Amino acid sequence: MRSLLCLLVLSAALFAEPSADRKVALGLVDACAQAPKTYEAEGFKPDGTVRAIFYDALPWQGKPTRVFAWIGLPAKRDGKVPGMVLVHGGGGTAYKEWVQKWNAQGFAAISIAVEGQTDNNENNVKGRSGWARHAFAGPARDGIFADTKLPMKEQWMYHALANTMLANSLLRALPEVDASKIGVTGISWGGVITSTVIGLDDRFAFGIPIYGCGHLFDAENQWGKALHDNEGYKQVWDGMNYADRVKMPVLWLSWPQDAHFPLGCQAEHYRKAPGPRMVSLVSKMGHSHPAGWNPPDSYAFAKSVVETGKPWGSSPSATTKDGHAVAVFHSAKPITKAVLVSTTDKGFTGTRKWVETPAAAASGGGGTTASAPLPPGTTAWYINAYADKLTLSTDYQEIK
C-alpha cells in the first residue's frame, strides 16, 4: 500500500507543472553550458597524458568554488576522440586510474571530485574516506539528501549535478574531443547523480549509472527510510522526475545482491525512460569503485554507442508462459549461453538468495529466444544472456 501511494504521489508530480525548484534544476544546463576556466593542480604529478586540474564551478554560500579532477587523453589517437565524465561514489574522489582505464579504450576522460575534495588522503589509510578538502571547496554531501530544506542553490545535489555538467562543457571545448560523443558514468552515489543528470543535460550522448538509480523513496532499506518523507528529494532530485526526457542510450549496470540499490527501484527508473536501454546484472559483481569500473560491460556499451549509435544488445521482451520464463534478446555479438537468475525470497533484493539455472537459447527471427522453467514459488527473476564475458540482461521481473 505504501509503495502504491508513493508511486501515485510521484506520478502526479511528474505530470504537474514543474515546481519552481524543479525549474531551477532544469535550468542548470544553461548555467553550466560554457566551458569553465581551468587551473593546474599544483603538487599533483602528471602521469603520462593524465594530469590533475581544478576548474571553476558555481558559487556556494556567496563564495566561488572549484572542482578537483583528473583529466586525460588517449596516448594514441587519430582525429577527434569520444569522451567520458566519471563521477565517484560515497567515500570516493577523483580517480586517476579510472581516467586511465577509459583512455586505454580510446576515450578522453575526466574524473571529478564532487564533495570539495582532492585525492590526498589525510588519514593516509587506504580505503578510508579522509580526502583533504581544498581552499575552493563547495558543499560536501550531508547523509542521504539531508540538506533538502536548505535553499536550492546551497544543496549538495545542486552542485554535484552542476559539476558534472561543467565537466561535460570542459570536455566539449577540447579540440581533441568529439563533442557529439561524450558520455557520463557514475558509481553508487555517482550512479544516483548520473541517473538524474541524463534527464537534465541532453548534450550527453549516453549514460551509464552503475548501481545507483532513482525511485529510492520506496526502497526497503536505508534509502527508503531516509527518503520516504523527503519531499525535496522526491519532487526535485529523484531522477524519475526527468526520466521522460532521457532519449539517449543508457546502460543500467548492477548485480542482484547489491546491498544498497534495489533492483526494483532501478527497474522503476529505467522503465520510465523512453530512450534505448540495456540492462546488465553481473553475477558476483560486488560493490566498490574497482568492482564498478573493472567489468568490460561499460566499455563495450560505450564503444557500441559511439561507433553505431546504439547499444550492442537489448532485450525487448520478457514474460512468463506455462510456468517458464521466456525472453527475447537482440545482439550484435554472438550469444554463447543464457542463464535464469531467480529467487523465492521476498523483501529487499540485496538480501535475497538468488539461484542460477541454465536456460535454453535458440536463434531465429532476428534474435535469440531464451527460456527456462521457473522454480516453484519464484518471486522475482531475470535472464542473463552472455556474449563471451559481456552480460546482457532482461528487465528485472517481480511476481506479485
3-state secondary structure 251-313: EEEECCCCCCCCHHHHHHHHHHCCCCEEEEECCCCCCCHHHHHCCCHHHHHHHHHHHHCCCCE
Give the cell for residue 232: 525535496
Element (H, E) at 209: strand 206-210
pTM for this predicted structure: 0.93
Domain 2-311: assigned CATH number: 3.40.50.1820
What pLDDT score does 128 carry?
54
Examine the pLDDT at 7 and tell me if it is beyond 50: no
Of all residues in the chain, the percent with pLDDT exceeding 70 is 94
pLDDT in tens, 283-341: 999 999 999 999 999 999 999 999 999 999 999 999 999 999 999 999 999 999 999 99
In the chain, domain spans: 2-311, 316-398
Report the distance separating Cα 51 and Cα 45, nearest Å: 7
What pLDDT score does 11 carry?
47
Greater confidence (18 vs 25) lies with: 25
- pLDDT tier at 364, thresholds 50, 70, 90: confident
Beta bridge partners of 368: 329, 363
Tell the residue number behind the cell numbers 564498478, with chain if given: 292
What pLDDT score does 283 carry?
96
What pLDDT score does 126 carry?
58
Residue 373 DSSP SS3: strand
- pLDDT tier at 129, thresholds 50, 70, 90: low
CATH of 316-398, one of 2.60.40, 1.10.8, 2.40.50, 3.30.1690: 2.60.40
- pLDDT tier at 122, thresholds 50, 70, 90: confident
For residue 61, what are the contacts with CB-CB under 8 A and spacing of at least 6? 154
CB atoms within 10 A of CB 349: 28
Least confident of 150-159, 192-201, 357-366: 357-366
